[in-house]
């Protein structure tokens, strides 16, 4: 049930962050995306925090979904505890790696 | 529909499998002369009585009550005794019949339902009434009856269970039939164990495993809605304690008249 809830909560968070991302990346000037534009945006602490939270929601959502689908198979279901721990470790590693990358941006 | 139409001869294509002699299932065709009002079960009787006594299937009541004649007819799970053959005859004048999918075949249309019953028993499908049973009947309001969405009409045929893709992958999943029964008991004002039941259905092989594919709704010959029952259980499982308290309070007034 926890995985089920995590997937729903992260879906709501994704909806919020994806909307912010789409509006600011694609629907407000300048209407082209270049490295300079992304660099300028990610140099501000607010955008760093927004993108780090966005990354976290994506990772939780993807991992909860994959875990649910994989454990639909009876053979994987029997190892669900080990798979859950593996998923948590993958999320933590990917999050640390991604967050460090976002945090490193400067003008 | 003309009389000629209902009296023509159709091909009944049956999936045959006898584990004693067959390595894998094969299809066998039989010619059956239809008569008005003939059901798929009547056609099977016709074949078994007059053409091939080895064709094997379960049936009992012949009235859509016992649930034993559920099978896979033209790609859909349904009751053979409730299905008029004329509605199933395809353009090539053929009706295809096989056993319920995802279950081990014992012979022809007879499947091993062990996992179906095991999952059913896990939700404790019986009513657990209060200790002080009133002298008169328990009373339920019309809203309480409506909230059950006719779940008590389930005949345990297994059509929903064996149409569920999640069951196809994982026999440890409780399944739509067991969850529908859990829903019935959880919402029943007389039942004293809603918390325990919600705990059972909240486990990893319970309500969270449903992918809302809706096959169970399509398959149910009684027009029931196991998906909606699962959704309700999911919601109630989130507020288990509150729900238990509300139900305990309701049980104090079970033998009082329902306020209009
Ligand atoms: S819910 Fe419908 S399909 Fe499922 S066992 Fe009950 S009657 Fe059969
Ligand atoms: S024979 Fe009883 S439901 Fe069909």
pLDDT class of B5 with cuts at 50, 70, 90: low
Strand pairing category for B94-98 and B9-16: parallel
Closest CA to B112 of B123, B122, B104: B104
Instruction: Read off the pLDDT of residues B167-189 as tens digits, 9 standing for 90 and up.
Output: 999 999 999 999 999 999 999 99
| Beta carbons within 8 Å of B190's beta carbon, 6+ residues apart | B127, B129, B130, B138, B140, B251, B254
For residue B4, pLDDT beyond 80: no
Listed in order, strand segments (DSSP E) in chain B are: 9-16, 26-33, 70-73, 76-79, 94-98, 105-107, 110-111
Same domain, B44 and B76: yes
Chain B positions in Cβ-Cβ contact with residue A7 (cut-off 8 Å):
none
| pLDDT at A25 (0 to 100) | 84
| pLDDT at B125 (0 to 100) | 96
Region B100-129: mean pLDDT is 96
| pLDDT at B232 (0 to 100) | 97
For residue A107, pLDDT beyond 70: yes
pLDDT class of B77 with cuts at 50, 70, 90: very high
CATH assignment at residue B25: 3.10.20.30
Same domain, B122 and B99: no
Same domain, B234 and B217: yes
Instruction: Read off the pLDDT of residues B20-60 as tens digits, 9 standing for 90 and up.
Output: 999 999 999 999 999 999 999 999 999 999 999 999 999 99
For residue B257, pLDDT beyond 80: no
| pLDDT at A106 (0 to 100) | 81
**B214, part of any domain:** yes
Instruction: Read off the pLDDT of residues B120-129 as tens digits, 9 standing for 90 and up.
Output: 999 999 999 8
Calculate ∠ Cα B235-B239-B240, nearest 5°.
105
Q: What is the DSSP string of A13-48?
A: HHHHHHHHHHHHHHSSSS-S--HHHHHHHHTSHHHH
How many C-beta atoms surround the C-beta of residue B9 within 10 A? Answer: 9
Q: What is the mean pLDDT of chain A?
A: 92
In the numeric block, which tokens belong to residue A59? 């990772």
Same domain, B245 and B119: yes
Between A43-52, A71-80, B201-210, B244-253, the lowest mean confidence (pLDDT) is in: B244-253
Show which of B95, B110, B125 is a domain's final residue. B110
- The alpha-carbon gap from B161 to the nearest alpha carbon of chain A, in Å, equals 15
Q: How many domains does chain A have?
A: 1
Closest CA to B187 of B134, B150, B135, B225: B150
Same domain, B211 and B230: yes
Residue in A4, A74, A77 closest to B208 by CB: A4
Say if the Cβ atoms of A71 and B166 lie within 8 Å.
Answer: no
Same domain, B103 and B124: no
Rounded to two decimals, the pTM is 0.88
Q: Which residues of A9-35 are buried (b: 16+ CB within 10 A; e: fewer)?
A: ebeebbeebeeeeeeeeeeeeeeeeee
In the numeric block, which tokens belong to residue B236? 């109630």
Same domain, B174 and B57: no
Residue B71 dihedral angles phi and psi, to the nearest 5°: -155, 180
Same domain, B94 and B156: no
Show which of B110, B133, B150 is a domain's final residue. B110
Cα(B101)–Cα(B164) distance, integer angstroms: 9
| pLDDT at B3 (0 to 100) | 56
pLDDT class of B159 with cuts at 50, 70, 90: very high
| pLDDT at A20 (0 to 100) | 92
Residues in B whose CB is inside 8 Å of some CB of A read 166, 169-172, 202-209, 211, 234, 237
Show which of B53, B83, B110 is a domain's final residue. B110
**B256, part of any domain:** no
Region A60-71: mean pLDDT is 95
Say if the Cβ atoms of B169 and A68 lie within 8 Å.
Answer: no
| pLDDT at B230 (0 to 100) | 97
**B231, part of any domain:** yes
CATH assignment at residue B157: 1.10.1060.10
Same domain, B207 and B144: yes
Query: Looking at per-residue confidence, does B218 or A32 come out higher?
Result: B218
Cα(A80)–Cα(A58) distance, integer angstroms: 21
**B259, part of any domain:** no
Cα(B240)–Cα(B199) distance, integer angstroms: 8
Say if the Cβ atoms of A74 and B237 lie within 8 Å.
Answer: no
Same domain, B204 and B97: no
Say if the Cβ atoms of A4 and B166 lie within 8 Å.
Answer: no
User: Where does residue A60 rank: exposed (0-12), middle (13-18), buried (19+ CB within 10 A)?
Assistant: buried
Enclosing domain of residue A56:
2-26+34-103
| pLDDT at B243 (0 to 100) | 95
| pLDDT at B259 (0 to 100) | 65
In the numeric block, which tokens belong to residue A13? 């968070």
Cα–ligand 1 centroid distance for B76 (angstroms): 14
Region A44-57: mean pLDDT is 94
CA A34 to chain centre: 22
State whether the beta carbon of B158 lies less than 6 angstroms from ligand 2: no
Cα–ligand 1 centroid distance for B161 (angstroms): 8
| pLDDT at B51 (0 to 100) | 97
Q: How many domains does chain B have?
A: 2
CATH assignment at residue A90: 1.20.1300.10
Q: What is the mean pLDDT of chain B?
A: 93
pLDDT class of A31 with cuts at 50, 70, 90: confident
Strand pairing category for B70-73 and B94-98: antiparallel
Same domain, B145 and B230: yes
Same domain, B44 and B164: no
* Atom 4 in ligand 1: residue holding the nearest Cα: B160
Which ligand 2 atom minimizes the distance to the CA of B81? Answer: 4
Q: What is the DSSP letter of B24?
A: S
Q: Are B227 and B176 in contact, with CB atoms under 8 Å apart?
A: yes
> What 3-state class would DSSP assign to B91?
coil
Closest CA to B22 of B47, B45, B54: B54
Enclosing domain of residue B168:
114-251
pLDDT class of B2 with cuts at 50, 70, 90: low
**B258, part of any domain:** no
Looking from the CA of B260 toward its CB, the CA atoms found within 13 Å total 0
């Amino acid at each position: 049930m926890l995985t089920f809830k995590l997937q729903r909560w992260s879906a709501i968070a994704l909806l919020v962050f994806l909307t912010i991302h789409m509006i600011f990346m694609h629907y407000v000037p300048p209407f082209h995306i270049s490295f300079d534009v992304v660099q300028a945006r990610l140099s501000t602490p607010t955008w760093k925090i927004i993108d780090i939270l966005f990354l976290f929601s994506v990772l939780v959502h993807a991992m909860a979904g994959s875990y649910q689908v994989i454990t639909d198979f009876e053979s994987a279901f029997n190892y669900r505890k080990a798979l859950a721990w593996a998923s948590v470790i993958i999320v933590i590693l990917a999050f640390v790696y991604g967050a460090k990358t976002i945090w490193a941006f400067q003008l | 529909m003309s009389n000629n139409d209902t009296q023509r001869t159709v091909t009944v294509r049956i999936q045959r499998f006898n584990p004693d002699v067959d390595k894998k299932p094969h299809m066998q065709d039989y010619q059956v002369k239809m008569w008005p009002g003939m059901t798929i079960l009547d056609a099977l009787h016709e074949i078994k009585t007059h053409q091939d006594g080895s064709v094997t299937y379960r049936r009992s009541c012949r009235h859509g009550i016992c649930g034993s004649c559920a099978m896979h007819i033209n790609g859909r799970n349904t009751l053979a005794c409730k299905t008029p053959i004329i509605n199933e005859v395809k353009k090539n004048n053929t009706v295809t019949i096989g056993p319920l999918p995802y279950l081990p075949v014992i012979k022809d249309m007879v499947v091993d339902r062990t996992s179906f019953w095991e999952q059913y028993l896990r939700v404790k499908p019986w009513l657990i009434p209060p200790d002080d049973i009133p002298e008169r009947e328990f009373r339920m309001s019309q809203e309480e009856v409506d909230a059950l969405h006719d779940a008590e009409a389930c005949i345990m045929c297994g059509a929903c269970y064996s149409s569920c893709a999640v069951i196809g992958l994982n026999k440890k999943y409780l399944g739509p039939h067991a969850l529908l029964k859990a829903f019935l008991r959880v919402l029943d004002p007389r039942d004293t164990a809603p918390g325990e039941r919600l705990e059972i259905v909240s486990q990893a092989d319970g309500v969270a495993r449903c992918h809302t594919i809706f096959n169970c709704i399509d398959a149910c010959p009684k027009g029931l809605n196991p998906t909606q029952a699962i959704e309700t259980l999911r919601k109630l499982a989130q507020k288990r304690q509150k729900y238990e308290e509300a139900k305990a309070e309701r049980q104090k007034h079970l033998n009082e008249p329902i306020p209009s």
